[in-house]
Amino acid sequence: MKIQRVRGTRDFYPEDVAVRNAIFDAWRRVSIRNGFAEYDGPLLEHLDLYRAKSGEELVGQIFTLNSRAGEELALRPEMTPTLARMINARVQSLPRPVKWFSIGPFYRGERPQRGRLREFYQWNIDIVGSDDLLADAECLFVVADLLREIGLTASDVVIRINDRRLMSAIFRAVGIPAEHHAQAFAWVDKADKMDPGALAAAWNESLGSFVSFDALWPLLAIDSWAALQSSSDRVLARADVEDRRSDVGRLFSLIQDFGITEFCDFSMRVVRGLAYYTGVVFEVFDRKGARRALCGGGRYDNLLAALGGPNVSGVGFGMGDVILTELLEDRHLTPPGRGGLDVFVVVADESARSEALRLVAGLRGRGVVTDFSYRRSPVGKQMAVAASRGAARCAIVGTETRERQCVSIKEMTTGRQVECRVEAFLAEPMAPLGEASEG
């Protein structure tokens, strides 16, 4: 019986793992240089951790299972609730702000499609314990820092920013009661994902008694920081709404100070679908508009308290590997995997195989990435294998190794070849060949 991989998952062959690790390395480099410490949590969490914390849409996508003890468990679909639970457990002893990052696998039980799978890897950045807009701005800087790190420019991608407090003020101003704001956010989140006519009909059916979709659309259509600044819409002129527009202005001033203005813009239609977001929210999009969001995040002021902890705010984001990898492939920016072999040991004479294996062991013991061929084959074929493996150089072991303790070293890129003593080679295996002692 031939068994296929589960739909919505991926097989990672060595070349795929090399690319994945290169992306992970970039995520880790950017995190560490921005002052974040790495943490991790379990793949299994109690289902209650996500109920009423992440929103009904996400809860409906969770892979669930029951333990033998009757516990309702979930494969984690995101990291923020785990982060909140972990910080709550040690909140009194952790210095603030907490700046943590993680990289790991996540699972969502949804229909697999381009850019969205059941299993994916995600980079998570969070700052917990600061109400200052500077924390929101720093998260945006980290996003831009990563985009630059992997070769993407402001002509490739844009970080679209909004503030749910501004949206709540607008909803109140147009007559939507607070108890209906969650539904309003849900429809706005679908504004760029649904047919406009279908969205208008759905809005009018559930919220049309407060304000029609057509009446609200001129505000929802605001799609840049310049447009928000220049808009003369009377709703935005109300004092409570203007206060929130000023907050957005302060954020964009910090963005300018960080030097990432080229990457950032405003969009009234970015609100994020997860229920726990309370303030600044943002998503990263391909400027060609051909994909889902590359990254998303925002401020969550109540999540720790909702999970039994103190009233401590946080802000953060997650970036998945699936859409990012697709975009990098399309832009011919796929990062090269970690280098191939340092040394491939070629056995030129089978009588010297013992010497060859001792050389392999000696090189590996010094941290040199080394391999050899199991097969007894001509030197030319072994050299071809070395080339296919990306070896930097070959160490050719033959009768001279057994008789005079010498080895021939060939540099694969230049073809230069010298003979040196085994002892000297082991002392500096990757030294320039011109400095190798001649045999």
CA distances from 98 to 95, 101, 314, 371 (A): 6, 10, 9, 44
Confidence of residue 439 (pLDDT cuts 50, 70, 90): very low
List pLDDT tens digits, range 75-101.
999 999 999 999 999 999 999 999 999
Top-confidence residue, 59 or 397: 397
Give the closest residue to 304 by CA, choosing from 135, 84, 71, 36. Answer: 84
Strands 417-421 and 406-411, sheet pairing: antiparallel
* Contact (CB, 8 A) for 47 and 63: no
List pLDDT tens digits, range 144-153.
999 999 999 9
pLDDT, residue 53, reads: 64
How far apart CA 113 and CA 220 sit, in angstroms, is 28
pLDDT, residue 61, reads: 84
* Contact (CB, 8 A) for 346 and 141: no
* Contact (CB, 8 A) for 285 and 266: no
pLDDT, residue 161, reads: 98
pLDDT, residue 52, reads: 57
Give the closest residue to 275 by CA, choosing from 213, 189, 160. Answer: 189
Mean pLDDT of the 241-247 span: 96
How far apart CA 107 and CA 84 sit, in angstroms, is 19
List pLDDT tens digits, range 26-54.
999 999 999 999 999 999 999 988 885 66
How far apart CA 235 and CA 216 sit, in angstroms, is 10
What DSSP designation does 4 have? P
Give the closest residue to 51 by CA, choosing from 25, 73, 68. Answer: 73
Strands 64-66 and 264-266, sheet pairing: unpaired
Top-confidence residue, 60 or 126: 126
Ramachandran region, residue 70 (left: φ > 0; alpha: ψ -120 to 50; beta: rest)? left
pLDDT, residue 438, reads: 44
* Lowest mean pLDDT, pick from 165-169, 229-233, 359-363: 229-233
The pLDDT of residue 436 is above 60: no
The pLDDT of residue 338 is above 70: no
Q: How many CA atoms lie within 13 A of 367 on its CB side?
A: 3
The pLDDT of residue 109 is above 60: yes
- For the chain, residues classed under CATH 3.40.50.800 are 343-435
- For the chain, residues classed under CATH 3.30.930.10 are 14-330
Mean pLDDT of the chain: 92
User: Which residues are bridge partners to 46 per DSSP?
Assistant: 73
pLDDT, residue 434, reads: 67
User: Which residues are bridge partners to 334 per DSSP?
Assistant: none
What's the token pair of residue 364?
A: 């590996």
List pLDDT tens digits, range 394-407.
999 999 988 999 99
Handedness of CA 421, 427, 430, 436 (dihedral sign): negative
The gap from C-alpha 208 to its chain's centroid, in whole angstroms, comes to 39
Could you please state the CATH topology (level 3) that the domain comprising 14-330 is classified under: BirA Bifunctional Protein; domain 2 (3.30.930)
The pLDDT of residue 206 is above 60: yes
* Contact (CB, 8 A) for 428 and 416: no
List pLDDT tens digits, range 296-335.
999 999 888 988 899 999 999 999 999 999 999 999 998 8
CATH superfamily of 343-435: Anticodon-binding domain (3.40.50.800)
The pLDDT of residue 282 is above 50: yes
The pLDDT of residue 250 is above 80: yes
The pLDDT of residue 217 is above 70: yes
What's the token pair of residue 181?
A: 């704001």
Confidence of residue 57 (pLDDT cuts 50, 70, 90): low
Spell 234-270 as b/e; 16+ CB within 10 A means b.
ebbebeebeebbebbeebbebbeebebeebbbbbbbb
What DSSP designation does 222 have? -
Ramachandran region, residue 431 (left: φ > 0; alpha: ψ -120 to 50; beta: rest)? beta
Q: Percent of the chain beyond pLDDT 70?
A: 96
CA distances from 13 to 16, 104, 320 (A): 5, 18, 19
The CB density around residue 89, as the number of other CB atoms within 10 Å, is: 12
CA distances from 433 to 49, 381, 385, 398, 407 (A): 60, 23, 22, 19, 13
Q: How many CA atoms lie within 13 A of 215 on its CB side?
A: 16
The pLDDT of residue 178 is above 80: yes
